[in-house]
Amino acid sequence: MEYLLIALVVTLTSLGQVLQKLGADRGLKDAVSFRQTVAALFQWEIILAVICLASAVAVWLVVLYMMDVSKAFPFISLGFVVVLLSARFYLQESIPWNRWLGVVFIVAGISLLAQT
C-alpha cells in the first residue's frame, strides 16, 4: 500500500510540473507587465497544477505516517524520471545524454533502496 501511495505522489507532482510548464508557456508568452504576469497564475493549467501538488502533499503525509522518511523520500526522485520522460515525449523537449545518464543512476539507486 505504501508504494502505491508513493507512486500516486510521484504521479501528482510530476503532473503538476508538466502543467506548470504548459501554463507558463501559454500564460507568460506575451506577458510584458506585472498585471499580465499575475493573470498568468490563473491559467487553468496552473490552477490544476496547484491542485495536483496540494493533493500530493496530503498523500505524502499519509506515506510519512506509514513509513520511515529515510526509506520513503528517495522514491520521490522517481519524479525526475517521470518529468524527463514527459518532457521528451509529451512536450517534445530535446534531452541531452547526460540527463538520460542521470535517470539511469536514479533508477539504479531506487532499485537498491527497494531491496532494503
Contact 86, 18 (CB under 8 A): yes
**Count of structural domains within the chain:** 1
Does the pLDDT value for residue 103 go beyond 90? yes
Does the pLDDT value for residue 116 go beyond 80? no
pLDDT value at residue 16: 98
> What share of the chain has pLDDT > 70, as a percent?
100
What is the residue range of 68's domain? 2-114
For 93, list phi and psi in degrees, rounded to 5. -80, 150
Higher pLDDT, 2 or 39: 2
DSSP 43: S
User: How confident is the model over 19-53, as pLDDT tens digits?
Assistant: 999 999 888 887 778 888 888 888 899 999 999 99
pLDDT value at residue 27: 82
